[in-house]
Structures are given as structure tokens and as C-alpha cells.
Copies of this chain bind each other. A is one copy, B any other.
Amino acid sequence: SRSLNLAVIPGDGIGQEVVAEGLKILSAVLPQDVKLETKEYDFGARRYHATGETLTDADVEALRRHDAILLGAIGDPSVPSGVLERGFLLKLRFLFDHHVNLRPSKLLPGVATPLAGQPEIDFIVVREGTEGPYTGNGGTIRKGTPHEVATEVSVNTAFGVERVVRDAFARAQARPRKKLTLVHKNNVLAFAGHLWTNVFNKVAEEFPDVTTDYIHVDAATIYLVTDPARFDVIVTDNLFGDIITDLAAAVSGGIGVAASGNINPSGEFPSMFEPVHGSAPDIAGQGKADPTATVLSVALLLRHLGYDAEAVRIEEAVSADLAERGALPARSTSEIGDALSVRVAG
């Protein structure tokens, strides 16, 4: 019999509430012969305040023994900006070599968008997750003086770019439209831009059936609001990906429904799945959070582990649920979770 050994990190704020619903749906959808084991880890603001720790070597060793990680949200205003981001979230992405940061955007029927005319939106962003301006390279001299100089170094390697570009081509090839867009700023960031463009064009030769194009990141933000249907798969740098996926989430129904995967495709390390939204301390503990983004992250997790049929069932359940929302009175976090678990089990 099969097993799924999951690390669960509820985290801060609404993280607790949404992860509970994610697990509810996971239990409901998993085939009976799969033994689900979950272990909860208490990372985030509370642990940091109690111990000063964000992620110890022992934590990393424990986490890496799991098949995958489900994360709610990490972050709280009581912790200085950057501490948990760099000490936990980014640290895990780097240590577990999560180089494919996968963020699908699909505007589902019945879902509100800030864009006029309910455009068709169905694309995925493959964001590089372990390089670019996120490496922490750089420094400061003369800190706090009128002569301070601070640098940030974006590091890009052929190795790192090629593997994420190849992953994106494969994902594009598996989709009906088979189209891949490289987003960068190669007219200004010429060193990194040349590397990205060159690797992209070289890997393209291996995927002759995939249509390719290139657009600058600034222009990409225009298209995301004026013609999002032009996108099928996007591959981009870590920072550009951070920016455009928040915009992509906003236009395709908001961060309440935006899922993401921090993926290590080789399986050498466990991949981590999380809603794009944060811990939303303002609504925490009130049952107001929408668990949909977490539930869709569970679908990404299942697909990553080979449970394709189960992932599809979750996605269909979410679609059906969202389509009916307009007609229903507002529901609590757990009511939405209950409705979804009935649908996936049915």
C-alpha cells in the first residue's frame, strides 16, 4: 500500500485556519489505499519570539524526510520585516533547491476580477526560485552615513537558468496552446538578459512544437491587464516572477484563490506548497479566510506526487464551488472547506 508522509506548517495568522481545510480536502480525496501521515511543525512568529529561531539545522533534517510540505502562511507584524522571510521561507527554498516556483493563474467562472469584461485568463508562471536578486549577495558600506552605498547582486547561472527554462518548455509542451513567453528586461539588464535569452533560445530548439516569444517585464504588466489571454506559460527570473505573479493573482480572482508550488523537480528534496497570500493578521482567528488558495495548493502538491486524478477532482470541486458563490450567503473558512470536501468525496 502507498503512503504520503506530509510535513504541515500552519504558520501564522490565518495559516492555521486555511491549512486545516487543506488537510480536510486532502483526506477526503486521497485513495483509500494511501496511508496519509502528517506531522505538524510550529514555525513562524510564535516560535521566533519564544526561542529566537526561525529554522534550525535539526528542523531542516526533520523536514527533508517528508514527501512534501504544506505551508499556510508565515509572517507577523510583531517580527521585523525580513526576518521570517529570509530566515524561513527563502532559506527553505534555497536549502531544498526549490528552483521551479510554479504559480498558475486561471480566472474561473463566477470569480470577480478587477478587469472589465471578464477576460479569459489561463496561464502559468514558472518563476525561478533559487537565483537572481534573491541570493542575498551584496552589501553595505558606511551604513547610516550620508556616504552609505548598498548593493544587491543578481546572480544568474547557465545551470540555474537552463533547468528552469527546460521545465517551463516541458510544461508548455504539455498544454494545448504550447506557447512559452520569456519575461525579462534584457535591454537594460544586459548581462543577465543575454544569459536568459541565449539559454531560452537554445533550449527552444529541443521543443520545436512550442511557440515562443519574449517581452520586457514592464510591458508584461501592461499585457496582464489589457490582454491576459495572450499568455499560456511564462518563464521568468525570481524577482520579476515575484512581481508579476502578484499582479497575475490580482487579475485572476485575487490572492484568495492563488496557489503556488516551490518545487524541486528531481525529488531530491521535498517540494513545498503554499497559498500566495500572507498571514492576514487582521482577519486571523475569525473564520473569515478563504481556504481556496490552500486547497488549490494541495491540488498542486498531489499532481507533483503523481496523483493527477485527485488533483483534477480538487480543481473541479473548487470550480464548481466558486461558480455557485455568487448565489450563496457568505460562508466561514470551515464551511467552504466542508463544502469542498463533500464535492471531492462525491
Interface status of A242 (Cβ within 8 A of chain B):
yes
Contact assessment for A153 and B156 in the assembled complex, using a CB-CB cutoff below 8 Å: no
* Interface residue A226 (Cβ < 8 Å from any Cβ of B): yes
**Among the listed B113, B114, B134, B152, which residue makes an inter-chain contact with A191, where contact means beta carbons less than 8 Å apart?**
B152
Chain A binding surface SS class:
mixed
Interface assignment of A283: CB less than 8 Å from any CB of chain B = no
| Identical chains in the assembly | 2
Given contacts A186-B81, A239-B185, contact A149 B154 (CB under 8 A): no
Chain B positions within 8 Å of A152 at CB level: 133, 153-154, 156, 189, 191-192
Give the chain B neighbours of A144 by CB distance below 8 A: 198
Question: Nearest chain B CB to A131's CB is how many angstroms away?
Answer: 10
Within 8 A of B (CB), among A241-268: 242-247, 249-251, 254-255
| Cβ contact within 8 Å between B247 and A247 | yes
Given contacts A82-B187, A154-B133, A191-B150, contact A243 B217 (CB under 8 A): yes
A322 CB within 8 Å of chain B = no
CB distance from A315 to the nearest CB of B (A): 23
Q: Which of B113, B153, B218, B225 contacts A251 (CB 8 A)?
A: B225
The contact of A188 among B82, B244, B251, by CB within 8 Å, is: B82
Q: A82-B190, A153-B153, A219-B246 are in contact. Are A147 and B134 (CB under 8 A)?
A: no
A295, chain B: closest CB distance, angstroms = 21
Report Cα–Cα, A186/B245, bound state, in Å. Answer: 18
> A221 an interface residue at 8 Å Cβ cutoff?
yes
Interface residues of A in 151-210 (CB under 8 A from B): 151-159, 162, 185-195, 198
- The answer, yes or no, to whether A306 is at the interface (CB within 8 Å) is no
Assembly CA distance A140 to B246 (angstroms): 30
Q: Does A148 contact B (CB under 8 A)?
A: yes
Answer whether A86 and B146 are a contact pair too, CB < 8 Å, given A140-B194, A243-B217, A246-B222.
no
A145 sits at the interface (CB 8 A): yes
The answer to whether B146 and A162 have CB atoms under 8 Å apart is yes
Residues of B within 8 A of A221 (CB): 221, 243-244, 246-247, 250
Contacts of A150 in B (CB 8 A): 156-157, 191-192, 194-195
Assembly CA distance A133 to B150 (angstroms): 12
How close is A184's CB to chain B, nearest CB, in angstroms? 10
Q: Is there contact, CB below 8 Å, between A151 and B162?
A: no
Q: How far is B243's CA from A242's CA once the two chains are assembled, in angstroms?
A: 12
Question: Within the assembled complex, what's the spacing in Å between the Cα atoms of A193 and B242?
Answer: 16
Contact partner of A226 (CB less than 8 A), chosen from B146, B153, B250, is B250
In the complex, what distance in Å separates the CA atom of A164 from the CA atom of B113? Answer: 35
A329 interfacial contact with B, CB 8 Å: no
If A114-B226, A158-B148 touch, whether A218 touches B243 (CB-CB below 8 Å) is: yes
* B134 pairs with A188, CB closer than 8 A: yes
Residues of the B chain whose Cβ atoms lie less than 8 Å from the Cβ of A149: 155-158
Q: Judging by beta carbons under 8 Å apart, are A249 and B225 in contact? A: no
CB within 8 A of A250: which of B155, B195, B222? B222
A305 at the interface (CB under 8 A from B): no
Binding site for B on A (CB under 8 A): 81-82, 85-86, 90, 113-117, 133-134, 136-140, 142-159, 162, 185-195, 198, 217-219, 221-222, 224-226, 239, 242-247, 249-251, 254-255
